[in-house]
Homo-oligomer: A and B are copies of this chain.
Amino acid sequence: MRIKEEIKNIKPYFIDEKSVRFKLDANESPYDLPDDIKEEMLSVLKDININRYPDPSCKSLRKLISKMEEVEENQIIFGNGSDELIYLLLMCIREGALVTYPEPGFSMYSLSGKIFGKELIPYKLSEIDFSVDADSFDKVMNREPYLCFIANPNNPTGNCFPDDILIKYLDNENTIFVSDEAYSAFSGHSLVKMVKTHKNLLIMKTLSKIGFASIRLGYLIGNRELIKEIEKVRLPYNINSFSQKIAEFYFKNIDLVNRYVSDIIKERERIYKELKSRGVFTLPSLANFITFKVEKNGFYDYLVNNGVLIKDLFPSFGMKNYYRFTIGKKEENDFFMKLLLKFMEEE
């Protein structure tokens, strides 16, 4: 069997499946739907014909998203999470094509790029404050990558890509720019308005970080001509009937979701201040997580032993002694802070 070498050499995506009391590693929202709203949601699902294929074009959902994002219905393409959208984009460009993305950044950019046999050259973020290194970005952009991921904000560093740096390159239509806005609900910053004037700009969004990770619903927004091409590689029934209905239901409860989002932002600011005041090296964050550094070894294990799971940024991102903490509910955040302080005080 002649499996590609690229595949044989791949180290699979790592998911930490430890069972703990407080799961604060995966940038999920801490808020499940309240029972009464969940009941209402289930009653909506009753209308689904289990035996029938899903609507291949997600018509009802498309209408809702088009209205919310203020774009035409044919400017949207749906994916089984952002993950699938990254696959679709890579499928649209030739083998060996140059792809660039931030480093450190979401590991699916490079992992997927490897799988599809692309030439991968990341642009580096500064080692001091993880801001975009303009020189590193300039160097790779001069090679005219086919695909350039920018993250607004970036995982795991929490910062947005500076608009003024982007603007300088956006006119080169040889490159498709993807603004990954998975966490944009927490930053309030989106490039979606620029889609009108730049037909090589795509906005990538997902419901996963704002309370709907279970249904796997992502979407791309872009110029209709580009969307039409990507649409050709989308599997016709990639969004199942349940995900469609629940995503539609989300739009009916958008006020509730927005309230949760602003609670998370408030908690993020509170924890950020507290970490800073305790002298912890902490990155400012526009997302639903905070990345910080603990020089003393063993912090991850210490937390796990105390029932808290966070993300150790060394294995996946090469960031030694850095950790990413997903903002949870107040009591979760307090519990985490208490453990952190205790760990730092102990000899």
- Of all chain B residues, which has the CB nearest A208? B53
Q: Which of B28, B240, B241 contacts A52 (CB 8 A)?
A: B28
Q: Which of B33, B42, B84, B176 contacts A1 (CB 8 A)?
A: B176
Shortest CB–CB separation between residue A253 and chain B, in angstroms?
11
Task: Specify which chain B residues have a CB less than 8 angstroms from the CB of A215 in the assembled complex.
Answer: 50, 240-242
- A199, B10: Cα distance in complex, Å: 21
Q: Which of B51, B81, B238 contacts A32 (CB 8 A)?
A: B51
Shortest CB–CB separation between residue A201 and chain B, in angstroms?
11
Q: Which of B208, B229, B231, B243 contacts A8 (CB 8 A)?
A: B229
Task: Specify which chain B residues have a CB less than 8 angstroms from the CB of A38 in the assembled complex.
Answer: 46, 50
Interface residues on A, range: 35 or more
| Cβ B3 vs Cβ A214 within 8 A | no
| Cβ B52 vs Cβ A214 within 8 A | yes
| Cβ A214 vs Cβ B53 within 8 A | yes
Task: Specify which chain B residues have a CB less than 8 angstroms from the CB of A303 in the assembled complex.
Answer: none
- Of all chain B residues, which has the CB nearest A49? B32
Per-residue CB contact flags for chain A residues 216-236 toward chain B (1 = under 8 Å, else 0) read 100000000010010111011
| Cβ A15 vs Cβ B236 within 8 A | yes
A93 touching B240 in the complex, CB below 8 Å, given contacts A28-B52, A235-B84: no
Per-residue CB contact flags for chain A residues 279-296 toward chain B (1 = under 8 Å, else 0) read 000000000000000000
A236 touching B83 in the complex, CB below 8 Å, given contacts A30-B51, A213-B51, A229-B7: yes
A233 touching B50 in the complex, CB below 8 Å, given contacts A2-B146, A91-B115, A226-B1: no
Q: Is A278 in contact with chain B by the CB < 8 A criterion?
A: no
- Of all chain B residues, which has the CB nearest A83? B235
Q: Is A307 in contact with chain B by the CB < 8 A criterion?
A: no
| Cβ B51 vs Cβ A93 within 8 A | no
- Of all chain B residues, which has the CB nearest A26? B53
Task: Specify which chain B residues have a CB less than 8 angstroms from the CB of A80 in the assembled complex.
Answer: 80, 235, 238, 240
Task: Specify which chain B residues have a CB less than 8 angstroms from the CB of A189 in the assembled complex.
Answer: none
With A7-B92, A7-B233, A42-B46 known, 13 other A-B pairs at CB within 8 A are A1-B173, A2-B94, A8-B229, A17-B56, A42-B42, A49-B214, A53-B208, A80-B240, A83-B235, A84-B235, A91-B116, A240-B240, A242-B243
A selection of 17 A-B contacts at a CB cut-off of 8 Å is A3-B229, A4-B92, A4-B94, A7-B91, A7-B229, A28-B52, A30-B51, A31-B51, A50-B215, A50-B246, A52-B214, A81-B235, A81-B237, A83-B237, A95-B95, A115-B233, A215-B241
